Amino acid sequence: MSTTDPFILAWNSIRYHTSNMMDQADKHFESMATTIRQKANDTSWFPQFPHRKTPPPPPPSTPVIIRDNGKGLGVVWGWVKEHKWLVAGLVVVVVGGGVLVVKRKRQRVRRRKALKAGNGARKEVVVIHGQPHDPIVKSTAHDLERRGFIVYIAVSSHEDEQVVLAEGKTDIKPLQIDILDTLSARASISRFSSYLKSPVVPFHGAPAHHLKFTALILIPDSNFPSGPIETIPLDHWSDTFNLKIIQTLAITQLFLPIVTESKARLLFVTPGIGYSLRLPFHAPEVAAVGALEGVIGCLRREVSAAGVQVGWIKVGTLDVGTTTEKKGSKESATRADVLSWSPAVRSIYARGYVNSKAVGDGVRGSSLKEVNAAIVAGMLDRRVRKVMRVGSGSVAYDFIGRWVPEGVVGWMLGLRGGRRVTENVRGTSPGSRGSSSHSLESSVEWERVDK
């Protein structure tokens, strides 16, 4: 079918020439692809490199069955027989080292008894400074003696020396130190130091051994004057500071050269409840214990460089065999103290004084064994706790004194303001009995003060 339309003729011409060009391009690319495939199959022109042969895969593993038939043990036994001295030495080293490690660990961590010398005699020495008739001093001395220590109690008079000798224990001995005579005291310390350094023969035929100074235990007397500050004579303050502070400092100062040389322990045992609560009407006790606390803190930092550890044991309420008669005598003493004051002083302080004297009366006292255990721990543990609290109420009262507001503490102690006490002469018979607070309240008349 022919046409004369110029546009149709031009379109047909373009389609024709385009088809021819595409056919020629297909033939050209097909020829190039054929040539490339032929060259790729023909590797004669590619350079040859030496290459490894792929190793054959390993054969499958088969279970190996070892049959000893006693030959292996025989070889080991033969080696042991040839080197029996070497094996014996190794066994001795291993067993001996293990025994030594276990022994030292027990001595340092769980040791609760004194070490003995090689001849079986006692070798560890402890010095206690305190009143020989004090229950804590006596209990501590007997407990340490039972644990194998040689115990010396520092005394300053012939009467105290006889009290120590009356205990009838060979290893509880008096150590005479006259603090008032400085030259005599230094001579006594010098003799004691020479005694520690000299070899000791416990019995005839035994090898000599040297003693070891383990600890100095300072237990100030727990009896303090009480009452309003305005009623306590100055000589009572002087006696308190001399007996509780000055004597303790003097003994500490005398023994410090021996303590630092031996790297012994220093332990202070003081009452804790009165100082923790800043108990009213117990100013001498609070002042003395507070002064000792300052000394202990300074001393701990001073001697730490010498390897000496210092511990402070704060004692609560203890059971020292209190009886009804003793309770009655305490009430009578409280009554006598109050009645010895002037009426003006009595009207202001009587109620608070009675209540302060009753603090701790309702608490069952702990056994003295707790104090003994704390002292032994302070002597033998690897690290000494700075403060150890023992006895009933020691922890609770210390917490109250530190963290409870002062007004709440005063309310707990019965320090109520706005009341005065006047004496009722009719009710002051000394033979009356009852609780410490109610017995005195029955002998006084409480009147509210009009403001």
**What totals of helices (H) and strands (E) does the chain contain, helices first?**
16, 9
Please, are residues 344 and 297 in contact by the beta-carbon 8 Å criterion?
A: no
Q: Does some domain include residue 229?
A: yes
Whether 385 and 440 share a structural domain: no
Same structural domain for residues 261 and 328? Answer: no
Identify the CATH number of the domain in which residue 373 sits: 3.40.50.720
Q: What is the domain count for the chain?
A: 2
* Contact (Cβ atoms closer than 8 angstroms) between residue 212 and residue 123: yes
pLDDT at position 100 is 64
8 A C-beta contact, residue 297 and residue 342: no
Global confidence as pTM: 0.68
Q: Are residues 198 and 334 in the same domain?
A: no
Distance CA 419, CA 416 (A): 7
Domain membership of residue 11 (yes or no) is: no
pLDDT at 71: 56
Whether 358 and 368 share a structural domain: no
- The low-confidence residues of the chain, meaning pLDDT below 50, are 1, 46, 49, 64-66, 107, 109, 323-325, 417-451
Residue 93: which H helix or E strand, with range? helix 84-109
Q: Would residue 225 count as lying in a domain?
A: yes
Q: Are residues 357 and 368 in the same domain?
A: no
Helix ranges, 225-311 (H): 234-240, 247-262, 273-277, 283-303
CA distance 308 to 306: 6
> Are 409 and 332 members of one domain?
no
Q: Which of 413, 416, 388 is nearest to 278 (CA)?
A: 413
Q: Give the per-residue pLDDT at 435.
A: 41
Q: Is residue 202 part of a domain?
A: yes
Instruction: Please name every residue paired with 174 in a beta bridge, in sequence order, or none if there are none.
Output: 153
pLDDT in tens, 138-155: 999 999 999 999 999 999
**Is 17 inside a domain boundary?**
no
233 and 302, same domain (yes or no): yes
pLDDT at 234: 94
The amino acid at 220? P
Which residues span the domain enclosing 334? 323-362+417-451
Q: Is 147 inside a domain boundary?
A: yes
> Which tokens hold the place of 230?
């305005």
Are 348 and 391 members of one domain? Answer: no
Looking at the fold, whether 141 and 240 belong to one and the same domain comes out as yes
Query: What pLDDT does 202 receive?
Result: 79
| Same domain (yes/no): 341, 375 | no
Structure tokens at 175: 């150590």
Q: How many residues does the chain have?
A: 451
164: its two tokens: 């120590």
Token pair for 28: 């050209």
Whether residue 139 is contained in a domain is answered as yes
> Is 211 in the same domain as 351?
no
Residues 342 and 204 both lie in one domain: no
Residue 39, domain member (yes or no): no
